[in-house]
Amino acid sequence: MGLVEKINDKSAKIGVIGLGYVGLPLAVEFTNAGYEVVGIDIDQKKVNSINFGKNYIKDVRDDILKNAVKKKLLTASTNFNEVKNLDALSICVPTPLNKEKNPDISFIVSVMEKIKDYIHENMLIVLESTTYPGSTKELILPYINKNDELIPGENICLCFSPERIDPGNKEYNTSNTPKVIGGVTDKCSDVGKELYSKIINRVVVVSSTETAEMVKLLENTFRAINIGLANEVAIMCEKLGVNAWEVIDAAATKPFGFMKFTPGPGLGGHCIPIDPYYLSWKLKTLDYDARFIKLAGEINTQMPKHVVELITSVLNENQKSINGSKILIIGVSYKKNIDDCRESPALDIIELLKNAGSIIEFYDPFVNKLEFNDVKLRSLDTLTKDNISKFDVTVILTDHSQIDFALINESSKLIIDTRNVFKDVKNKNIKRLGEG
Ligand code: SAJ
């Protein structure tokens, strides 16, 4: 029986390699549609957790995962030879940057090395990891071409389909976020669309894998550059003596031709600070300098230093030196209402303050401890008038919804607000990022 028939009668066996915040929700979606799914990961802890029906991804419902495992629709393994029994395979492994801020595609290559002897006729391979245009053809297709019997678009299909998972997003999830897909051939795209349409309510086919790879990079480069603009507007407004937040809110009343982005303490997360460098790196190999990406990167990466300068000047104005001052950081995750600290600007700010001789504590209801470089801190258990008032300055870095900002306002000696949580509060001891 052909692959499309197996996709349609749900007898196709699906594999997902990489069981993180992208792969596990995807695997569970396929089980929800009635497919048998094998999750493959190098992390034995993840594999054991899944096989015991124990969920570890907040965006996946515990009962749904448990049920899928109970019904034997979902199993997990560290064994890459499982691929020989699969009809379709989605690869969802990390694509970080290395120390030189160049793409690190080693996880993709490592997967291909592990599965090269098991890819076979009548299977679909889809790369989901965010990567530079050309990667699917440069990194995966050669393994298929090594096998003379395998002819892409005839008896094996290869596509790229960018992940669009937004951890913590209550409105959009795997099944209701439109999915872009591009194949090495039109037939590959059609087969890819056939499968993904079974779990996602809108699948958008584009003309090639490179197009699909570029779509994802445009999405996140767009964000990084506009966040960079918002941050530069904040710096300009400080010099102009106006309030950037008021300016941006007023500009956002324009019902067309404007999209609101806001300043912040810097650019965190595992997508936005990273994805644009995959694009600029690729263009550099083509002898082109992606200037917007570089400029946005310069502005965004210097925001932590700008925040520390604000803290220093506010302390100075109050006859205090940053050296020896007691500083309370509110919120350390990279954005509100999540526990993820990857690339969080709070880490840069804490390190800069520590190097300046400050005494630092933090409070974050989602993060109970921070250990990086030579920083080792535990979050305060609670915020009280007493423990807040002990600090020379309170610095708002992440505006988690559950934080009692009114208590912070009435208890703090001085406040640096990088998220405009005190938007309409009249308090001369509040210094806002972006306010001159
Ligand atoms: N940030 C600002 N100002 C803004 C928006 C964000 O300073 O106006 C900062 C955030 O505080 C954070 C960083 O930028 O530190 C990234 O924030 P983000 O809202 O882009 O959140 P991410 O990193 O979780 O981005 C993900 C991306 N999703 C995927 O790549 C599939 C992104 O494409 C989504 O648009 C974004 O979620 C989202 O909209 O939530």
Q: Is the CB of 397 under 6 A from ligand 1?
A: no
What is the pLDDT at residue 114? 98
Task: Calculate how far, in angstroms, residue 386's C-alpha sits from the geometric centre of ligand 1.
Answer: 34
Task: Calculate how far, in angstroms, residue 224's C-alpha sits from the geometric centre of ligand 1.
Answer: 8
- List pLDDT tens digits, range 96-134: 999 888 999 999 999 999 999 999 999 999 999 999 999
Shortest-distance atom of ligand 1 to CA 223: 20
What is the pLDDT at residue 169? 87
- List pLDDT tens digits, range 384-423: 999 999 999 999 999 999 999 999 999 999 999 999 999 9
Measure the CA–CA gap between 150 and 84, rounded to whole angstroms.
14
| Atom 12, ligand 1: residue with shortest CA distance | 268
Shortest-distance atom of ligand 1 to CA 269: 23
Task: Calculate how far, in angstroms, residue 75's C-alpha sits from the geometric centre of ligand 1.
Answer: 32
CB 75 within 8 A of CB 42: no
Retrieve residue 119's tokens: 């890819």
Kindly tell me if the per-residue pLDDT of 435 is higher than 70.
yes
CB 398 within 8 A of CB 335: yes
Q: Is the CB of 271 under 6 A from ligand 1?
A: yes
Measure the CA–CA gap between 75 and 27, rounded to whole angstroms.
10
- List pLDDT tens digits, range 234-263: 999 999 999 999 999 999 999 999 999 999
- List pLDDT tens digits, range 9-68: 999 999 999 999 999 999 999 999 999 999 999 999 999 999 999 999 989 999 999 999
| Atom 3, ligand 1: residue with shortest CA distance | 262
**Among 346, 226, 221, which residue's Cα sits nearest to residue 271?**
221
What is the pLDDT at residue 393? 98
Q: Is the CB of 268 under 6 A from ligand 1?
A: yes
Q: Is the CB of 25 under 6 A from ligand 1?
A: no
DSSP 270: S
| Atom 15, ligand 1: residue with shortest CA distance | 268
Burial of 53 (0-12, 13-18, 19+ CB in 10 A): middle
Helix (DSSP H) and strand (DSSP E) numbers for the chain: 16, 15
DSSP 136: I
Retrieve residue 96's tokens: 């970080």
What is the pLDDT at residue 431? 97
Q: Is the CB of 47 under 6 A from ligand 1?
A: no
Task: Calculate how far, in angstroms, residue 413's C-alpha sits from the geometric centre of ligand 1.
Answer: 31
**Among 37, 31, 47, which residue's Cα sits nearest to residue 14?**
37
Among 223, 332, 336, name the best residue to mutate to test ligand 1's pocket (greatest count of ligand atoms within 8 A of Cβ): 223
User: Which residue's structure tokens are 């915040």?
Assistant: 21
- List pLDDT tens digits, range 211-239: 999 999 999 999 999 999 999 999 999 99
CB 209 within 8 A of CB 137: yes
What is the pLDDT at residue 202? 98
Q: Is the CB of 21 under 6 A from ligand 1?
A: no
As annotated, the active-site residues are 271
What is the pLDDT at residue 122? 97
Task: Calculate how far, in angstroms, residue 374's C-alpha sits from the geometric centre of ligand 1.
Answer: 28
- List pLDDT tens digits, range 295-327: 999 999 999 999 999 999 999 999 999 999 999
Retrieve residue 364's tokens: 């974050």
Measure the CA–CA gap between 314 and 310, rounded to whole angstroms.
6
Measure the CA–CA gap between 178 and 219, rounded to whole angstroms.
13
Looking at residue 333, its amino acid is S
Strand partners, 182: 160, 206
DSSP 414: S
Helix axes 291-301, 303-317, angle to 10 degrees: 30
Task: Calculate how far, in angstroms, residue 164's C-alpha sits from the geometric centre of ligand 1.
Answer: 12
What is the pLDDT at residue 101? 87
CB 128 within 8 A of CB 93: no
What is the pLDDT at residue 1? 60
* Euclidean distance between the first and the last CA atom of the chain, given in angstroms as a whole number: 69
Q: Is the CB of 261 under 6 A from ligand 1?
A: yes
